[in-house]
Amino acid sequence: ILTQSTAWSAALEVVAAQRKAIQTLWQARRFSEILVTGCGSTYYLSQAVAPLLQQQLGIRARAVPASELLFFPATVIAPDSQPLLLAISRSGYTTETIRATQAFKQHHNGPVITIGCYPEAELVGLSDLALIIDDGQEQSVVQTRSFSAMLVAAQAAVSLAHEAQFERMRTLPTLCEHLLQTYHDLARRLGEDKRIERFYFLGSGLQYGLASEVNLKMKEMSLSVSEAFHFMEFRHGPMSMVNEHTLVVGLLSDQARASELAVLREMRALGGQTLALSEQPISPTEVDFSVLFNSGLPEANRGAFYLPLLQLLGYYRARVNGQTPDTPHNLSAVVVL
Ligand code: F1P
């Protein structure tokens, strides 16, 4: 978790090296929609990347778990559609992702792009274009550094549709270091606070997939009660779980910030502790704790900032709960069918 800024730098270099091929893909537009797929963490990464593709490229894009694409293709792909498939997998060997990609190639003509961490992986062999990030350096079963680096790569690839945005992203690794230095103690303090027994992660728009991912980190590393919701959905039932033993974490958007802060104020009034992560400053009267990015980057380029401190939150809670964060209960790095 603490070394991820170097993986972000490397991810930007990988994308820069493939700049021409990526720009050609976006310009030629030989597809009518984009499907983004993966499993587990990489499905949540797909959920973060699909809305970004749609917003930035102006083309329909959706995320689906690889198993849904594999077993229920007609519920995913319309008969008249010509999709591009973006298949994401750290290992490049997860069976559902491989088999969904193989089936896609058999039945559709569209291009296949992959993002992963191993150049020799089976999935890479099925792809027309592969962005290989971090070269398999992550040892942990849990995806942390690899996840954020793959997100940086995806956001950088999308930003190439607007060249100037890509150059601005070069500040990401330095800002990541700064965030970790400034807020590491806060993540530790909250992770180790035994009064907190339940965690809720709220995110909307570009942030929903990221909220789901940090929720998975908390759950798989620490075996805690933890869930993710769209911000406003939390008020339609789940908030009944909020009490003085709850931490509600908000990954604030730019667009719906005022409404999202209102949700956090409401959860605070119900007795929960609240933590907000945001590009812009938040008044201490609004939430109990806040993390400020102050990066000057557009929302489309800075999703990775939400991750390192919330990964640390899961790590410290895992330690408190007597779990080994790198090798969670019942899990292995690659799931095969
Ligand atoms: C997908 C995945 C991981 C999860 C665990 C099992 O792997 O579900 O997200 O943390 O390690 O596998 P991959 O297809 O991204 O390699």
DSSP assignment string, 150-176:
HHHHHHHHHHGGGHHHHHHGGGHHHHH
Q: Is the CB of 148 under 6 A from ligand 1?
A: no
Place 163 in a pLDDT band, splitting at 50, 70 and 90. confident
Q: Is the CB of 67 under 6 A from ligand 1?
A: no
Check: CB of residue 7 under 8 Å from CB of residue 145: yes
Distance 129 CA to ligand 1 centre (A): 21
Distance 235 CA to ligand 1 centre (A): 31
Reduced to 3 states (helix: H, G, I; strand: E, B; else coil), residue 75 is helix
- pLDDT at position 1 is 95
Q: Is the CB of 97 under 6 A from ligand 1?
A: yes
- pLDDT at position 332 is 77
Q: Which atom of ligand 1 is found nearest the CA of 97? A: 14
- pLDDT at position 97 is 98
Distance 268 CA to ligand 1 centre (A): 34
Closest CA to 326 of 141, 136, 117, 134: 141
- What structural domains and CATH numbers belong to the chain? 4-168 (3.40.50.10490), 171-320 (3.40.50.10490)
Tokens of 220: 């798989």
Q: What is the pTM of this model?
A: 0.96
Environment class of 55 (CB within 10 Å of its CB; exposed 0-12, middle 13-18, buried 19+)? middle
Q: What is the predicted ipTM?
A: 0.94
pLDDT for 276-288, tens place per residue?
A: 999 999 999 999 9
- Provide CB contacts within 8 A for 33, sequence distance 6+: 59, 60, 61, 62, 81, 82, 83, 84
How many CB atoms sit inside 10 A of residue 275's CB? 23
pLDDT for 258-275, tens place per residue?
A: 999 999 999 999 999 999
Taking every pair of C-alpha atoms in the chain, what is the biggest distance, in angstroms?
Answer: 57
Q: Is the CB of 42 under 6 A from ligand 1?
A: yes
Distance 213 CA to ligand 1 centre (A): 12
- pLDDT at position 229 is 98
Mean pLDDT, range 210-239, rounded to an integer: 96
Q: Which atom of ligand 1 is found nearest the CA of 94? A: 14
Q: Which atom of ligand 1 is found nearest the CA of 117? A: 16
**Position with higher pLDDT, 253 vs 136:** 253
| Residue 336 pLDDT greater than 90, yes or no | no
Q: Is the CB of 144 under 6 A from ligand 1?
A: no
Q: Which atom of ligand 1 is found nearest the CA of 38? A: 14
The pLDDT mean for the chain works out to: 96
| Residue 84 pLDDT greater than 80, yes or no | yes
7 vs 12: CA distance, rounded Å: 9
